[in-house]
Amino acid sequence: MASSSKRKRLVGVSALALALVLSSCSSGNKASTTPATTGSGGSTPAAKATGSPIKVGMVCTCTGAGGFGAFDVPGRDMYQAWADTVNAAGGLDGHPVQLIAKDDGGLPANALSDAQALVADHVLAVVDISVVDQTFASVLQQANIPVIGSEMNNLPFGTNPDFYPEGQTNNSAIQAVIETAKQAGATNLANVYCAESPDCAQSVPAFKTVGQQLGLPVTYDAEISATAPNYTAQCLAAEQQHITAIFIGDSSAVIAKFASDCAQQNYQPIFVTEGAGFGSLELSAPGLKDHLWNEFPGLPYFANTPAVRAANAAIDKYFPGERQNTTLWDQIDFMSWASGQVLADALKAGGLSAGVSPTAAQVVTGLDSLKGDTLGGLAVPLTYTAGQPHSVNCWFTTRVQNGVPSLVNGGKTTCASGASA
């Protein structure tokens, strides 16, 4: 997907295009970097966390990128809230988590130097919230430092064995969308995608192929611009072709506007989107509030479970008001918490102990031993195999009725062919 200043998540199977577009806009100007941050509530010192620190690096597009960067800040803050919570409880086996966050400003040259600086800082793992992460992948690979989350829709997740996703990767995105549409009762599907980048159109043939394989024909496709005054023409065209479900691969703001325009024409098909970019903005839009289905890469931030409540309470404590910002907050931000949990489980599995300094090798050993880990119910089953790309091909399914989102299938995951729950 091409970039959008309205929302940071351009949901859809061509989400990778954002990185491709921005990677061609490099300049020699160095964006500022930020050290580890704390929320306005601050970190609570933990008397028990006296061991050697667990240094975690982060490369974040937190500024720049045509205004895009500001939307990545909540994901950074959610990870910091996880670290603050861990440290307030005494750390991991007495080791405090130290987050070292770098801001690449959306510039490949900055991302590269940021990664090099993190290697020099001897971080044990890196969190990826960058739109130009392909720039620094080889640097971390050569240093044997794993990347653990957070934006698992980025290209290296699912293709690079050194990138460990905390949720569903793009490999199964099209199948998940089509399976979700079928469950919602669709008999055919439209694929509506962004016009801002040619890469968005790359999903068209893949959608048609997978739809045919799964018995849900994709019989209409159309590109739309985020700056279009309305989407009435596309809505009427889809209605005339008797489309029963529409997948929109664009930002939440565009999705809401598209559905509203269709509703104004008294056309209310099933709408399907990827839950990675889901935000509460979609709960009140006409056309969506009663007809929206999503496939989520991890347990949704609105699920009423102890693990979700704990994560939401933490971000509210350390960064009050951030989760209530409907323009900024979405599912990918929430999943930064799951990224932290993957690191914690990996260290435990790798033999972390008090009094002994942890290493990156220990993290990798632990990661490669995780089998079916759901992070206490936060994630789809996560299994990593050493030396292989880590595709995660399971998802949660949700729907919205009367403006209220809920899990379907009893909260159980659905997995692509060849995957297992």
Domain 31-168+337-380: give its CATH code: 3.40.50.2300
Question: Which 3 state secondary structure label does DSSP give 190?
Answer: strand
How far apart CA 106 and CA 67 sit, in angstroms, is 10
Q: What is the DSSP letter of 95?
A: B
Q: What is the DSSP letter of 51?
A: S
How far apart CA 146 and CA 141 sit, in angstroms, is 7
pLDDT at 5: 29
How far apart CA 286 and CA 284 sit, in angstroms, is 6
Judge if pTM exceeds 0.85: yes
pLDDT at 42: 40
pLDDT at 161: 96
pLDDT at 198: 73
pLDDT at 319: 97
197 preceded by cis ω (within 30°)?
no
Parts of the chain with a pLDDT under 70: 1-47, 65-69, 197, 199, 418-421
Of 301, 292, 202, 222, the residue nearest 255 (C-alpha): 292
Using only the alpha carbons of the chain, give its radius of gyration.
21
- Delimit the CATH 3.40.50.2300 region(s) of the chain: 31-168+337-380, 171-296+395-415
What fold, for 171-296+395-415? Answer: Rossmann fold (3.40.50)
pLDDT at 65: 59
